[in-house]
Amino acid sequence: MRSRNCKLQNEGYRTLHSALRILQFAILGLAALGCGSGGVKTYPVKGKVTYKGKPMVGGGGISLQPLTNQEGATAGGVIDKDGNFVLKTYTEGDGSMPGEFRVLVYQNVYSEGAPTKNGEPPSKASADVPVADRIPAAYGNPLESPLKLTVKSEPQENVVLEIK
């Protein structure tokens, strides 16, 4: 009798586990639909990040943080070694939704060490950006970055973001 009760109890757990797994995938599917390209209209935004009047060296990343309560995904992108960037929200180069944003800039200061063969000690990372060319850490902090950008409801091709 006891083994029959355990068997029924195990089947109940499996049924509950299966139902929870289906619910989990349904929630993930709905979340993915909300992040698709059917969201808020975006406008192309391209530009350059400068530091002390020169293009930011080393490359890095850029992301926008809305300053108001806006619906939709926020934009981000890669900054190349010459300071150029193209924003992306849903697809490559589609830009950003319009609005007021705090801009976060992350600079690549170090490069990874070279790959090694099995059994060899790993190579060390190297600093590619001299200390004098490194941007202040505050520009990568969502609470401190003083950099702001207004994205208009039209393409913006020559945005200059000056880091001081």
61-70 pLDDT per residue, tens: 999 999 999 8
- On whether the CB atoms of residues 16 and 123 are closer than 8 A, the answer is no
Q: Which one of 3.30.70, 3.90.920, 2.60.40, 2.40.160 gives the CATH number of domain 45-163?
A: 2.60.40
- The answer to whether residue 18 scores a pLDDT higher than 50 is no
Q: What is the pLDDT of residues 69-113, one digit of tens each?
A: 988 899 999 999 999 999 999 999 999 999 999 999 999 998 777
What rounded mean pLDDT belongs to the chain? 81
Q: What is the pLDDT of residues 36-56, one digit of tens each?
A: 455 789 999 999 999 999 999
Tell me the C-alpha distance between 143 and 136, whole Å: 14
Per the confidence metrics, is the pTM higher than 0.85? no
Q: How many CB atoms lie within 10 A of CB 94?
A: 18
Residue of 160, 104, 114 whose CA lies nearest to 135: 104
The two structure tokens encoding residue 34: 């909300």
Q: Domain locations in the chain?
A: 1-34, 45-163
The two structure tokens encoding residue 158: 């020559």
